[in-house]
Amino acid sequence: MDRIRIVGGAHLEGVIPISGAKNAALPLMIASLLTEDTVVLENVPRLADVSQLKRILSNHGVDFAVRGRRHGETELDGETITLNAKTIVDTTAPYELVSTMRASFWVLAPLVARMGHARVSLPGGCAIGTRPVDFLLNVLEALGAHISIEGGYVVATARLGLKGGHIKFPKVSVGATHTALMGASLADGETLIENAAREPEVTDLAELLIKMGAKIEGAGTSTIKVTGVSTLHGAEHTVIPDRIETGTFALAVAMAGGDVTLQNTRADLLDSALETMRQAGAHVDALPNGIRVYRNGNGLLPVEVTTEPFPGFPTDLQAQFMALATRGQGTSKIRETIFENRFMHVQELARLGARIRLEGDTAYVDGVDKLTGAPVMATDLRASVSLVIAGLAAEGETIVNRIYHLDRGFERLEQKLSRCGAQIERISG
């Protein structure tokens, strides 16, 4: 099993290109099930989750083509993928495929919307909380589908098609909002979605659906109106930059010190996180095509963070920010309100010398003078990269084990960091 070896202490200098957003690319790929025509997606990241979703969609009959590299492109540029779901050959998504990646459960909505029936295994994914699928099933029931659970599978039927309805979420849910948008786009009549997720990835999906002929108003706000259409057509779309990758590399620079330009990204995708970094002592400048992050010599300050739905501080940067807080000159307070089990990285950061105490949904991080390298083990995607960030600033060698989590969400992490001077390498076997 692969590991990552880091020798800490090097400042980061240079340019890091940011990939397309995994959390946008996955629902965009799934949306191809809604039409018989071809959907072309540009800037798709080369990730394990994307490859797995290709296998899942292929099982339903989706044909794929990946455009070869063009002049001037490098291995760090995203892929262009062509998807065609002209013929759906199977409306079952089996356990052995869905159990490896939670987002694949979202195929349920477009399959029911287009075919009138779907049978999808209950999902797997990172073990960071229960993350129930109730909201997603409630969406389909609100659109007229009949839902049953049979042998670990969700069976959804709408023989006469989905019908427009009123959906009001008791709690903001990105996955449920994705489900509502895809289902309502082909539903008969108007659907009103209240307390909708406002994340950029939701807006990106809405923009693709609009290009495909959907009638959607209010995406990016908490109230979305969808007027269903009978069919959707093909479209071309570019995946937005990955705001979590952007924030992760920004925090890595703040942690290790140095001066790095994050290229092909947008500051407006994570204003809250960048402002928190400024409060902690990092310098962050928005650029026309990216973000400059630098910290040269000044110490890090303690801050208070509460994870919230967009536009608040993202839960997917909580672990990375905790790594930064371990070197703060004082006590930082980090409250996790989205996922109840998302502090599993705490005990691994402690192996590097971090001082963290947990009280319910809140972590209190007492900054230390130094971290010391040690073998650590990744527990989930974001926790694993927090250990990489900590290792960049630790004295000596850090070995991060079980890095298959990293490959699910970060494209060529070690290459991007090593290009900027980090002493980091992948060890195979």
Residue ranges of the annotated binding site for UDP-N-acetyl-alpha-D-glucosamine are: 102, 171-174, 316, 338
Tell me the C-alpha distance between 164 and 415, whole Å: 48
Structure tokens at 106: 């979202």
- DSSP β-bridge partners for residue 287: 290
Tell me the C-alpha distance between 232 and 211, whole Å: 9
DSSP string, 130-147: ---SHHHHHHHHHTT-EE
Give the residue from 252, 235, 236 showing the smallest Cα distance to 244: 252
Tell me which residues are annotated as active site.
Answer: 126
Structure tokens at 32: 């191809």
Which residue, chain included where needed, has tokens 């630098």? 294
Tell me the C-alpha distance between 206 and 217, whole Å: 9
Dihedral, 259, 295, 268, 322 alpha carbons, nearest 10: 120
Whether the bond between 311 and the residue before it is cis, its omega within 30 degrees of 0, is yes
**Residues contributing to the annotated binding site:** 22-23, 102, 171-174, 316, 338
Amino acid at 429: G
DSSP label at residue 346: H
Amino acid at 32: S
Half-sphere exposure of residue 411: CA atoms within 13 angstroms, side-chain side = 26
| Structural contact between residues 183 and 139, judged by C-beta atoms closer than 8 angstroms | yes
DSSP SS3 for 94: coil
**Residues contributing to the annotated binding site for phosphoenolpyruvate:** 22-23
